[in-house]
Amino acid sequence: MEINKKKKILAGLRKMIPTMLVLAIIGALYVYASSRLTTMPDFQVHPENGIVDVREVPIETEVYHLVNSWDFYPGVLYYPIDFYSGNVELDPQPDEVKSPHLGTYRVKILAKPNTYLMIASYSIDYSTRIFVNGVEVRSFGYVSEDPEKTVHNGHYYTLPLYSDDDGEIEIIYQYANYMHHQGGFIQNTVISSPEKIDEYVRGMTLFSFFTGGGLLFFAFYFLLYSAYMHSREFGVLSLCCVLISMRNSHFLHEYLMPMDFPFEPYYRVFILSVSMIPTMGVFLPAAYFPKLIKKKYELVFTVICGIDIVLHCVLPTTELVALCHYSYYFCAACAVAVLIRAIWMGVKKAFTFSDVVTLLILLALFLVMMYEGISSGSNSFVAHFGMTPFGLLVCLLLLSLNTQRKIQKRMELLTEEQHKNEVLGQINAMNRDFLQTVAHELRTPLSVISGYAQLTQMQIEKGKLSPQTPERLETIRSEADRLGAMVSNLMASTYGEVKEAERKMVDPRELLHQAELIGGPVCDKKGNRLETECSTDAMLHANFELLLQVLLNLIVNASRHTDKGQIRVKVTEEGKDVVFTVSDTGTGIPENILPHIFERGYTTDSGNGLGLSICLDTVRMHGGDLTVESTGPEGSVFRFTIPKEAQK
């Protein structure tokens, strides 16, 4: 038993190797893509009083984070001419006149003269105009003080810079944001030489495309697997992959959305995906552990999620972030309730070790998702990339292995169940065949007993007994004894006491005589004449009753297909065999039926299709064979051989 258990474990590990290999390759690619992405450069340059000096910084060879402490002018759009003329106010305006929906950022970079630099960043959400040294160089959407005229948009961009002879570079950002309840802010900005920035952007693009595309691939795979296996767990995992791939705003905006797609629906989709991610922290445990959450509570949670989706589509965009926060708080409360329920069930030992591992994995993933939801507004990297893809990848690796193990156990149980069903089906078929065989075997002696009893009754009623009456009564007694022996053998087989058929020396002449006595009246009913002939003195080592049954079956079959004809049984000797030939003058056997006459259960009339099959088995048990020697419109000839010295 211990060896079989080890074999099952090894077989299970072998089946899990492909899944482990695929996930390991994907994990390695993810680590490689992550290594190409410098999320936050190790070096920083800090503006002071709106000026950042990089003349003594090796900015051409390293990527630096340009800290976003730029000069900020809230509630007003300043142009370069305003700064040249000195018509600006750096001091914050009174709160009653300050508008968070628009503003101006400015920074002056002091670099080496005649130097090429480049910066890379996201535009200020959600419309931006950029000026470099007094010239408008880039615009995302349309910036206006009038909300009706403002066109919102946002992109990741790279901006080439060149310092003139004086080495000064002035950058001015104008933004207008009427979709969010807060104002825009400078996103994570990096600065270096064009070559270094190009390397940085390629790494970021690789990371974004690989994580987002990989998650969509997983989503498609899980969806197909869920449909094929009717697996609720993989269906929820598929939805989780889609949401987290959309959580990457760079991937969503740059790769998923069509060109020139309106920004407002994109913004709603993005906020909705962020809002729905924590719900997976509740749906995943419910999918993996159906008993963990009661159906009515699960239904209520689903309805609330549906209402949340509708609100994301109809509320003003300025309210969506607050709605997202409420969703996170609600899901956090539900997750705590689920955790308490899981602990309670764990105390009651309702979970296996595998279940505990799965719960811990889901809890870790939920905590990662909650962290990102809370820090999305303050962390630029989280807002545009996030840690959730990595957390989900690790979660998928562990869950897939665990789920694969569960599925393997289910398949083993299913295979065992199918094997049991097959065995039961075979037993039922054997019981059915056994009952049909018993019924067929009992029919012949009962028919003989009934026939002779009726004939004797008729003679007694007429008061005329024939000289054959004592012999017929003896036949009735003999058949009754044979019938009793059959019943005894049946009882013995029922209690597992089946013994091999007893064999002894059998005289073919005596065999023919009994067959004539029993089969004669059966043939007489249809006006047929039964004749027997034996031309051998050889003795057989066989079971008398079984061979008699073979002869009677062949005689009864011949009489059934013959009217007012002749049935002839002849015994001859050929070498080491005694040959029994049963011929008739009946209708013969059609050519299309002939190949099937020895098949068990095959019949073209009201019979059960067992007679010839039983005869063939009996003859072969004695070491002989049964064949159809000839057939045609003038009758058929059946021939079977029994070795003269057949042994056990």
Please report the pLDDT score of residue 6 as a whole number. Answer: 54
pLDDT band at 287 (very low <50, low <70, confident <90, very high): confident
User: Which of 85-89, 459-463, 472-476 holds the top average pLDDT?
Assistant: 85-89
Measure the CA dihedral 135/138/141/142, to 10°.
Answer: 0
Residues 23-50 have pLDDT tens digits of 677 667 666 666 665 555 668 888 988 8
| % of the chain beyond a pLDDT of 70 | 74
Cα 127 to Cα 134: distance, rounded to the nearest angstrom:
19
Phi, psi of 161 (to 5 degrees): -130, 150
- Peptide linkage before 297 cis (omega within 30 of 0): no
Residues 466-524 have pLDDT tens digits of 777 777 677 777 767 666 665 655 554 444 443 455 788 899 999 998 888 888 877 88
Mean pLDDT of all residues belonging to the chain: 79
Name the more confident of 221 and 71: 71
Residues 429-440 have pLDDT tens digits of 655 655 565 565
Check whether 150 has a pLDDT greater than 50: yes
pLDDT band at 232 (very low <50, low <70, confident <90, very high): confident
Cα angle, residue 406 at apex, residues 402 and 410 outer, rounded to 5°: 165
pTM of the model: 0.59
Please report the pLDDT score of residue 134 as a whole number. Answer: 92
Please report the pLDDT score of residue 485 as a whole number. Answer: 61
Of 526, 532, 511, which is closest to residue 556 (Cα–Cα)? 526
Please report the pLDDT score of residue 151 as a whole number. Answer: 92
Cα 136 to Cα 156: distance, rounded to the nearest angstrom:
17
Phi, psi of 585 (to 5 degrees): -115, 35
Check whether 200 has a pLDDT greater than 70: yes
Please report the pLDDT score of residue 108 as a whole number. Answer: 94
Mean per-residue pLDDT for 284-307?
88
One-letter amino acid for residue 563 of the chain: D
Using DSSP, state whether 126 is helix, strand or coil. Answer: coil
pLDDT band at 14 (very low <50, low <70, confident <90, very high): low
Check whether 235 has a pLDDT greater than 70: yes
Cα 194 to Cα 185: distance, rounded to the nearest angstrom:
24
Cα 231 to Cα 217: distance, rounded to the nearest angstrom:
18
Please report the pLDDT score of residue 527 as a whole number. Answer: 87
Give the CATH number of domain 43-192; options: 1.10.260, 3.10.180, 3.30.70, 2.60.120.
2.60.120
Domain segments of the chain as ranges: 43-192, 203-386, 503-648
Residues 577-620 have pLDDT tens digits of 999 999 999 988 888 888 888 887 666 665 556 678 888 888 99
Mean per-residue pLDDT for 355-373?
76
Phi, psi of 586 (to 5 degrees): -85, -155
Q: How far is CA 342 from CA 145, 293, 357, 365, 510, in A?
A: 54, 9, 12, 16, 83
- What letter does residue 65 receive in the DSSP assignment? E
Of 231, 289, 263, which is closest to residue 155 (Cα–Cα)? 263
Using DSSP, state whether 567 is helix, strand or coil. Answer: strand
Cα 585 to Cα 193: distance, rounded to the nearest angstrom:
110
Topology of the domain comprising 503-648: Heat Shock Protein 90 (3.30.565)
Q: How far is CA 299 from CA 161, 272, 294, 306, 527, in A?
A: 57, 20, 9, 11, 81
pLDDT band at 357 (very low <50, low <70, confident <90, very high): confident
Of 385, 414, 393, which is closest to residue 250 (Cα–Cα)? 385
Name the more confident of 317 and 503: 317
Q: Residues with Cβ < 8 Å from 257, sequence gap 6 or more?
A: 266
Helix ranges, 577-610 (H)? none
Phi, psi of 273 (to 5 degrees): -60, -40
Residue 49 region by backbone torsions, left for phi larger than 0, else alpha for psi between -120 and 50, else beta: left
Please report the pLDDT score of residue 581 as a whole number. Answer: 95
Helix ranges, 99-193 (H)? none
Please report the pLDDT score of residue 176 as a whole number. Answer: 92
Name the more confident of 322 and 488: 322
User: Which of 253-262, 296-305, 381-390, 399-408 holds the top average pLDDT?
Assistant: 296-305
Using DSSP, state whether 547 is helix, strand or coil. Answer: helix
Query: Beta partners for 74?
Result: 103
Element (H, E) at 345: helix 320-347
